[in-house]
Amino acid sequence: MLFKLALSGLKSRFKDYLVLFSGLIVTSAIFYMFLSLSTNPEFLKQNTTISIIGVVFIIGDILLALITLVYIIYANSFLLSMRQRDYGLFMMLGAKSSKIGNLIFVETLFLGILATVVGLVIGVFATQGVANLLISNLSLSINGFIGFHMPAILWTMAFFFVLFLFAALFNRIKLSVIPILSLLKSNEKPVKYRRNPVLIFAQFILGLIALIVGYYAMNNIMILKTDGFWLALIGVVVGTFLLFKSIFGVVIDILRQSNRVKYRNLNNFTINQIKFRITEYTRILTVVSILFAMAVGAITVSLSMRTLTFTNSENLAYYDTAIYSEKDSVKKAVAKLPIEDETTFHYKVEGSTIYALSDELNTLPMKMKTPDNKVTSYSGDSSKNSVNDLITSAYNNLHPKNELFASSKDVNYQYVNRSTFNTIPVTQHSVQLIKTVGGIRENLSSLNALNQLQNATPSLGLDVMTQAQVGGQVINYYQLFNSTYSGFQFMGIFLGVAFLTMLASILIFKILSGAHQDKKRYEMLDKIGTRRSVMTRSIAKELAVLFVLPALVGLTHMLFGLKLFQVTMIPQIYGTVVVPVTIFLTLYFLYYLLTFFIYRSIVLRKRK
């Protein structure tokens, strides 16, 4: 009976619960997506060589757990506020407080478990879907990852069950001690602001110190080692919270004192709305700021590693690929390439002897990259060893089961003139070195396809990397670096997308959960003749502040946080920050527009 009452209560206010339920689903789905990486040591071991990755994910787990806890607290508060008046009416009609307590307990627990289960299902499919999308579009080399990971499912279920169990117990206890009159008037209580200048100043100083400590730790991570991560985590989180608690409220108070700003259009109303939001949203804005920094930072690092993969590959060789196969499919694929430069050497193999053309050796340039990233060319005797290695490598790739030429020392090289070459009664082969217009950045898929058509191995191995350099195969270097960095690229974009979804869900949920209360204020403005366009601008400004403030703070955190990766992995990371930040801000702006249109449709009634 109790379960049926709880279920009917959920059905009766389905529209109100929809925002709450959607937010909880997204939260559990994102939590699972993160754990699918952090609880998979085999995946982490196979896809990254960075020893501190375990510590990074432990800190990430703790931070995500705290963020989820804050979100659940707000969600539970929203759930309780929606039902308090209903429960008050039940008690007025004679229902016992113990029965009402049991009802809210069942309702809270049922809603939480249902949201967790649905979130897990979505999380599993989203995890696999995002993974497949990233792997296919970025040509990543990923091992040991699947969307369905049982330890992550069990941890997610256990974590959310415990949270909702405590939330249900809290609601039950709270309802049993609140007077009936307070329950009936729960939506009419004014918000009290307490201003203590000394306390605000103390919070500002402590917040500033905490941020300085956090930024210092990130800037000196090579000295502080693991302790630096913990200092950065605590300092940035505490500092951000105290920053929102103190300085932004003071700035708004200063604006309220300016008559020029205050009495223009609906600015007085808008400023007071923002003041209310900042005071009530301190924890949420802190969470969104941290998530913003983590999301854009993760995507920036990931894309920087992709750029680093291309740059390192291009710095080590001149030619993009070497063509040694004589298949028709290979010839057709080569014909479609935008070739900028090419060199072709012809050879014949008879027994343990390789015959090559002396005029090609003397006239055709063998181009390579020097350590200072300049192009140099060789020909004649100075390039003989390089050409020998190139031809041997090409023949071995053409005949992978060949046992004659285990190394270039096993080969007898003979350079002969064209007439002698033509008289040798064996099949002629060739190896063509190609540099494309735009390089591997613009022709990656075509070059990868060529390697597959030639049945080329993913890399030549460390013992013949010199041959890869001589052969000009930038694509081989790319595959080598890509196999090293793919794990980080995958994790970065994967988590960036997850954190972006979560931060948007949290902020949108919090704003929309209070929309029905704000509706009364806009109805009053409408009744006194305020133009709809003026109210729309007021809404746009109010929501813009709530989106812009955490974005600014988050970007600041991210810029300091990138120092971690600059000193450990990616020296040029700040040079690649513009593109990911632009992409992220564009998506963030779309979330703002979505929130604006939904919020406006709720608070501004349609005029007939």
More reliable by pLDDT, 8 or 37: 37
pLDDT one-digit tens code per residue, 286-323:
888 988 898 888 888 888 888 888 888 888 888 888 88
What pLDDT band is residue 186 in, cutting at 50, 70 and 90?
low
Q: Which residue has the higher pLDDT, 394 or 74?
A: 394
Tokens 């091992």 belong to residue? 143
Residue 461's pLDDT is 39
Q: Where is pLDDT greater, at 601 or 400?
A: 601
Work out the pLDDT band at 43, boundaries 50, 70, 90: low
Span 209-230, average pLDDT: 85
- Residue 462 above 80 pLDDT? no
Bigger pLDDT: 92 vs 340: 340
State the first-to-last Cα distance of the chain, in angstroms, to the nearest integer: 44
Q: What is the mean pLDDT of residues 489-516?
A: 78
Q: What is the 3-state secondary structure (H, E, C) of 257-304?
A: HCHHHHCCCCHHHHHHHHHHHHHHCHHHHHHHHHHHHHHHHHHHHHHH
Q: What is the token pair recorded at 359?
A: 């005029």
> Which of 441, 456, 602, 449 lies closest to 535 in space, CA to CA?
602
Which structure tokens are listed for 449?
Answer: 């396809």
pLDDT at 431 over 50: yes
- Among 19-23, 176-180, 354-358, 372-376, the range scoring the smallest mean pLDDT is 176-180
pLDDT at 402: 66
* pLDDT greater than 70 at residue 595: yes
> One-letter amino acid identity for 457?
T
Q: Does the pLDDT at position 378 exceed 70?
A: yes
Task: Give how far the C-alpha of residue 308 lies from the chain's centroid of Cα atoms, to the nearest Å.
Answer: 18
- Pick the residue with more confidence: 462 or 401? 401
pLDDT at 470 over 50: no
Q: Per-residue confidence at 580, pLDDT binned at 50, 70, 90? A: confident
Average of per-residue pLDDT values in the chain: 78
Position 570 confidence tier, pLDDT thresholds 50, 70, 90: confident
Domain boundaries of the chain, sorted by first residue: 1-189, 193-317+485-608, 321-472
In this predicted structure, the answer to whether residue 497 has a pLDDT above a threshold of 70 is: yes
pLDDT reported for residue 210 = 92
Identify the residue whose tokens are 């390579």: 368
Is the CB of residue 483 less than 8 Å from the CB of residue 461?
no
CB 222 within 8 A of CB 568: yes
pLDDT above 50 for 471? no
Q: CA–CA separation, 447 vs 314, rounded Å?
A: 14
Please state the rounded mean pLDDT for residues 516-531. 78
Give the residue with greater pLDDT, 462 vs 204.
204
Report which secondary-structure segment, H or E, holds 560. helix 532-561
pTM, to two decimals: 0.73
pLDDT of amino acid 188: 54
Q: Shortest CA distance to 473 belongs to which of 485, 453, 459?
A: 459
How sure is the predictor about 245, in pLDDT bands with cuts at 50, 70 and 90? confident
pLDDT in tens, 88-123: 666 666 667 677 777 778 878 888 888 899 989 988
Closest CA to 516 of 397, 598, 396, 407: 598
Beta strands 366-369 and 321-323 are: unpaired
Task: Quick: pLDDT tens for 152-161.
Answer: 889 889 988 9
* pLDDT-based confidence at residue 47 (cuts at 50, 70, 90): low
Q: Is 522 exposed, middle or buried (0-12, 13-18, 19+ CB in 10 A)?
A: buried
Above 60 in pLDDT, residue 467?
A: no
Question: What's the token pair of residue 409?
Answer: 């020392």
Alpha-carbon span 312 to 502, nearest angstrom:
34
For 377, the 3-state DSSP assignment is: strand
DSSP strands (E only) in 409-505: 412-416, 428-436
φ/ψ of 402, rounded to 5, equals -65, 130
Element (H, E) at 465: helix 465-470
> Contact 23/75 with Cβ under 8 angstroms?
yes
- 137 C-beta neighbours (distance < 10 Å), count: 9
Backbone torsions φ then ψ of 369, nearest 5 degrees: -95, 135
The proportion of the chain whose per-residue pLDDT surpasses 70, expressed as a percent, equals: 76
Sign for the CA dihedral angle at 483, 484, 488, 491 comes to positive
Burial class (CB in 10 A: 0-12, 13-18, 19+), 49: exposed
572: left (phi over 0), alpha (psi -120 to 50) or beta: alpha
What would the mean pLDDT of 130-158 be, rounded to a whole number? 76
pLDDT at 460: 39
Predicted confidence at residue 22, as pLDDT, reads 77
Q: What 3-state DSSP class applies to 99?
A: helix
Q: Give per-residue pLDDT as tens, 248-280.
A: 777 777 766 665 655 666 666 777 777 766 667
Q: What CA–CA distance (Å, rounded) separates 454 from 575?
A: 36
**DSSP output for 330-344:** HHHHHHTS-EEEEEE
